[in-house]
Each structure stands twice: as C-alpha cells, then as structure tokens.
Amino acid sequence: MRPSVGVNEGRSGSGERVIGIDFGMTSVVAAYVPGSGQPPRIIPTENGLSTLAAVVTLRDDGGRPVVGRSAQELLTTEPAHTITGVKRLLGRKIKSQAVQDLAARAGYRIVEGPSGEAMIQLGDRQLSIPEIASLLLNHTRWFAEQHLKEPVRHCVIAVPAYFNDQQKTAVREAASMAGLKAKKLVHEPTAAALAYGYNRGTEARIVVVDMGGVRLDVSVLEISDNVFNVVATGGDPYLGGANIDSRIADWILTTIKRKYGRDLVQHPRLLQKVRIAAEQAKRELSRCKAVDLQIPLATGTKDAKTNLGLLRLYAPTVEEQSESVVVRVIETIRHTLAERSLRIADIDDVILVGGTTRMPFIRRRIEAFFEREARASLPPEEVIALGAALLGESLRPERSAPPTDVVKASIGIALADGRYMRIIDKDSKIPITRRVMIPTAHDNQRVLEVDVFEGEAEDILDTEYLGTIVYQGIADAKAGDARVIVDMAINHEHALSISSPEPGRDGESFEIATTSLAQRKGHKIKADFRVAKGRPSATLSTTADVPDAPPPR
C-alpha cells in the first residue's frame, strides 16, 4: 500500500491526537500515547519495524518516489538518484561545511538554490530539501494513520540541540508539506529525559549523552516541579557512529588488500558495499564479540563464491581502532560540564541516547567517566520519539506545562570594525528579548544594514551568517546622532525575530536580505514586511504556524 498525498480531515480541538516524531539522520521514528496516563508506544513502519529508513529514491522520469528500506537497497545500483543525509541538509546554505562534507561523498548532486540554499539536482529538476524531507514525514504520517485507524494531522518533532532558526523553519516547512502541523519542536535531549520519566515530580540534574550517526550532543538538564531547564549544551558536529563505521571500513579495506591483493577503493560500487558491511558489523558487535564478513571482491560475475573475501572482525579490534573516537566523546562531555563549572559529583543521573551508545566500549567509558551506571533501559533509537509523544500529550490544555529550554548558541551582530557583538548569550533561558541601539556611521545616513550572526567566536569568519536586516528612511542627522533600536527575541519555539520599537511611517522599509555576505552587492528580497500600529517588524526566519498543504507528488 502507498501513502496518500492529500491533507487529512479529523478531529479538531484539544482532543486531537499529537504524535511524536524523531527525524533522524538514518531513520525516522514515530510514537503516540494511547490514553491519559499510559506509556507511549512506537508506531510500526515497514514490515512491522520501529524505524523508517531515511532514504529516498527519485528517478529522472518523475515517477512515484521510493522511500525507506526499498530505497536503501538502491544505494549501490542507483546512487545518483538515492538521497541520504536529508537531516544534515535541512536549512543549510550550499557553502556550509556540513553540506560540502556530505557533497564530497554523496552519490547524488547537491547544488545551489536561488537564495544560496542547498538543493538536490535530479536530471533537469531541482528539489528543495524540505520537499525531500516531506516524503519521509508523509510516509511516517501514513504509517501512523494505518496503525491508529484515524487521521493524524498534528505532531511534535524532536530536533537536535544544535539546530538553528533556519533549520527549524525547514523542519516545519517539511511537516506542512506532509500534511502535518508541528505544534512544537523539542530538543532531542529534552525528549529523551521525558521518556525516562523525569516529569513525575523528580528534582534532579541529569546529563543526556546523545550519540547518533553523525553528531554527538551533550546536554545538562535541571528538573524541578515538572519544569525542565536545559542549563548547558555542548557537542561535536562531526562525531558519531559514522566515525566508527569509517574505521571499520578502513580495517576491511586494508585487510582485503593484504589478504586478497584487491584494492577496492578504486571501485565505487564495491566501496559502497564495504561501507554497508561496516555499519552492519558495528550493529552486530553491539551484541556479540565477533562477526564474520563476506566482502565482494569483483563485480559483473556470476560466480559469487570465488569473488568473496571472508573476514572475521573482533570487538576488541573495533575498540582499538576507535580509541580516538572515545577520547573525543569524553573530552566533549568534560568540556560541556566545565563550561558551567559542574563537577561529576553535581550530576544525579546519566542518560544514553542514540544507536552508537549501544556499543559496549562506548557505554563503558562514559560510565567510567561519571563513576556510575548510565540509564539505557529504553531502546536508544526509540527513546526520543517516545519523549516527543509524551510532550505532545502534555500540550493539551488540561496537561501540565511543557518544559522550558535555553538558547543553543549566541546571537549577535557585526560591528563596523568587523568584530562580532553578542546580543543574546548562549544558555539564556527562553523566551528572551534583548535590545541594542546602533548609531549611524555617516552624516545624513539614510540606510543602515545590520548583519546577524550565530556563534561564540570573536571573529565574524568563525560564526554562522543568518541574514541582513536593512533599515531605510532614517531621518537626516550627524553621524552617531541617529540611532536604530533593534530588539532581538527568541520564543519558546526557538524562533528568532527582530523588530524595531520605534514608530514607523508609511513608506519606510524594513526588509530582510536573503543574499549571503559574499553577495552583499546583489539584490535583496523583501520578506514578511509589515507596519502594524505604527511599528515596523520583521521575522528573520519565521517558524509561525502555516496552513496545511499537500505533499509533493
């Protein structure tokens, strides 16, 4: 059966079910709460499994997309049409390092969109990343409706703590295309804590170590009176299970070359099979001490037996090969605690999340660092979706208030001398509003541009550019006498908005530049401009609710 593509009609009001979704790099997981006071349950997907593989195959002829494990099987035969890593591309510019890293190893083409965003090129078509993501969410919604026997239109989506405003906007856009309204976006560590029952009157300070496929997140949460405060966040954007996969793959390639005299690096299809075998071996070694591997040594032959390299890989070998990975994990945890001057003795509990934490040596080293056993009783791939479902249940009017959170990264502006001035500091509790007055630099200056960045570094080049606010129609005055007041605010949804409290006049412009800094001399596109009650305002990258829309065919 195939997912439908229309928008569902269903119950409205506070009684409508809200499912929880963990949109991961390698899989999508959904959960729901059967009834008040009942524990959340995972929604089964393909063949009754708990996860939907985050892989989409789209052919040039524009036919029906292939989604999930069926698409995963096409990675080696149709790499140019099979898209993985969608989550990593959401809301990112083509020049982002994360996009460039993925483009270097992906079989499909990642190109620049009209506003500098990353897009997928398939034949003569260009598809936005939210379009691709919506196909995964649409399938997730369909599986939910089949299981629950009712329409599903609302969800809570868990996103990484490192997602910025633009990335969260892309998630909401993808949900809308899939016929879902994202009632709330919740940080993945917060969802994990909810799944472990820390909303039952417990007072504790806990650390959530979330190590998935490509990213390590470390968060410190303080819980009191059913209120969650994320007081510290840290992580490594390039540290996850893929690092271990890479080391296993290197070991396979080296051993095959030494034992069989075959260099598989020069054969893309064989190299992909090695990577798949490495990931499968990692999963098996989470449960056993050794695994036997059969690696194809050639392609295009019917005699498979004579072209298989037989290897045995032991768990201690993987642990030895991955020592540098473990060291980075521990140092990231240590740094996150040190930023808040926290000691190990200050931590009451540790939660492990993400499939990579299944590896015994990873868990063992984390527990040794904290000098206590970590909580990992729930399946690490499912725990975030379970927590998101619990939060969805709490959003009904009769439920308790959802947890609070903190700003993930500082937000600031560029000064005239090229330095970066932080306006909203990292780890500030949200919602939050901060004000800054920016003087003009020249006599009779009529236009003032304010570049907005995200990050902690002093140098602009080491921060992430978010956009440019352009103020026009400033009254004539000497340099420094005219000032523009800028209010920056971050709401409960982590949406950044920028406005001016000064009275506005008809004809004055307040617009948002969508061009990058490298294109500053290019045109600027006006977006979401309004003057209401004499006060101009604009949103840098809105996450406001948008009408449901059918997903792309």
Average the pLDDT over each of 228-242, 255-269, 370-384 and give the range with the smallest value.
228-242
Task: Check: CB of residue 499 under 8 Å from CB of residue 536.
Answer: yes
Average pLDDT over residues 105-127: 90
Tell me the average pLDDT of the chain. Answer: 80
Reference 242, options 283, 209, 212, 285; nearest CA is 212
As a whole number of angstroms, the distance between CA 124 and CA 94 comes to 19
The confidence score (pLDDT) of residue 515 equals 30
Strands 496-499 and 510-513: unpaired
| The dihedral sign for the CA sequence 289, 320, 329, 159 | negative
Decide if pLDDT at 472 tops 80: no
- Asked if residue 119 lies in contact with residue 127, where contact means CB atoms within 8 angstroms, the answer is yes
Query: 3-state SS of 67-79?
Result: ECHHHHCCCCCCC
> pLDDT band for position 471 (50/70/90)?
confident
Mean pLDDT, range 107-114, rounded to an integer: 92
Q: Residue 300: which pLDDT band, with cuts at 50, 70 and 90?
A: low
Q: Read off the DSSP letter of residue 61.
A: T
Which of 156-165, 223-232, 280-289, 368-377 shows the lowest per-residue confidence on average (mean pLDDT)? 223-232
Is a pLDDT exceeding 50 seen at residue 542?
no
Confidence of residue 257 (pLDDT cuts 50, 70, 90): very high
Q: pLDDT tens-digit profile of 47-77?
A: 888 889 999 999 877 778 999 988 987 887 7
9 Cβ neighbours under 8 A, 6+ residues apart: 151
How many CB atoms neighbour CB 494 within 10 A? 23
Place of tokens 């032991």: 314
Tokens 């959530």 sit on residue: 208
pTM over 0.75: no
pLDDT of residue 4: 34
Asked which of 140-149, 177-186, 492-501 is least confident by mean pLDDT, the reply is 492-501
For 532, phi then psi, to 5°, come to: -115, 125
The SS3 assignment for 400 reads coil
For CA atoms 258, 262, 266, 272, the dihedral sign is: negative
Report the range out of 52-61, 159-168, 354-363, 484-493 with the highest average pLDDT. 354-363
More confident of the two residues 328 and 4? 328
The mean pLDDT of 509-527, rounded to a whole number, is: 31
119-123, 279-283, 440-444, 458-462: segment of lowest average pLDDT: 458-462
Q: What is the largest CA-CA distance in the chain?
A: 84
The 10s digit of each residue's pLDDT in 189-203 is: 889 988 988 877 678
- Does the pLDDT at position 8 exceed 80? no
Beta strands in 33-172 (DSSP E): 41-42, 52-53, 56-57, 66-67, 82-83, 109-112, 118-122, 125-128, 154-159
What domains appear along the chain, each with residue ranges and CATH number? 1-196+378-402 (3.30.420.40), 241-321 (3.90.640.10), 407-538 (2.60.34.10)
Give the per-residue pLDDT at 144.
Answer: 95
pLDDT of residue 409: 81
pLDDT at 389 over 50: yes
Question: Which pLDDT band holds residue 117 (cuts at 50, 70, 90)?
Answer: very high
More confident residue, 79 or 237: 79
Q: What is the mean pLDDT of residues 274-280?
A: 90
The whole-number average pLDDT for the span 227-254 is 88
What does the pLDDT average to over 534-552? 30
